[in-house]
Copies of this chain bind each other. A is one copy, B any other.
Amino acid sequence: MHGEFRPGESLTLRGIGKMFDVSMTPSREAVRRLVADGGLILSASGRVSTPELSNERIEELASIRALIEPELASRALPRAHIALIERLQTINGTIAEMVAKHDDVGYIRANLEFHRTLYLRAQAPAMLALTETVWLQLGPTMRALYARLNRTEVPHNHRLIVAALRAGDEPGLRLAVRSDVTGGLRMLTV
């Protein structure tokens, strides 16, 4: 999910086991879970690798994000106290640090934390879980994107999201979230 693996990277059960000092059994269970969620793909012969998404698939996943995430943001809006908004601004600060350090994985992690922090307020665990499933599928691909473009600042849409939250502007919030979600992924499709 955080882009620690590149698209198409292949993994082995024994290798994963060594990473975490466990035997093959726990590796297999973890892999099975990730495969179920689309975070890893299983070849016909049972080999495991990170997904290499086609452009169509990327667009589809972006559509799903554009469908669900504005809804989550909208549900979070009535419950967004000032403490939450400040927390989001702090995370934006972290994002700025990651941009400065050119830490791609850190950037993705902080970016997703921004969204998750907001959506947690929606009190919609199943919807959030579904969204995280989509993030999981996009992880390796997002890494490939952010490594390519050279960001200089925090995404503009994050500031728009915070502003809309402050103003209680529901349509503005939906639009800002939608733009933030589709904006980054649009440049993924080569």
Which A residues lie at the B interface, using CB under 8 A? 28-29, 32-38, 57, 60-61, 63-64, 67-68, 71, 124-127, 129-130, 133-134, 137
Contact = CB atoms under 8 A, between A and B. Distances in A.
Contacts of A137: 126
For this chain, the copies found in one complex come to 2
Chain A binding surface SS class? helix
B33 A127 contact: no
A188 to B, nearest CB: 15
A98 to B, nearest CB: 28
A174 to B, nearest CB: 13
Contacts of A68: 64, 67-68
14 contacts: A29-B32, A33-B33, A37-B37, A57-B126, A60-B124, A60-B127, A64-B126, A64-B127, A64-B130, A67-B68, A126-B137, A130-B130, A130-B133, A130-B134
Contact of A33 (B32, B57, B67): B32
A38 B126 contact: yes
Nearest to A124: B60
A153 B60 CA distance: 36
A134 B57 CA distance: 20
B60 A125 contact: yes
A67 B57 contact: no
A125 B34 CA distance: 17
A64 B71 CA distance: 10
A176 B134 CA distance: 27
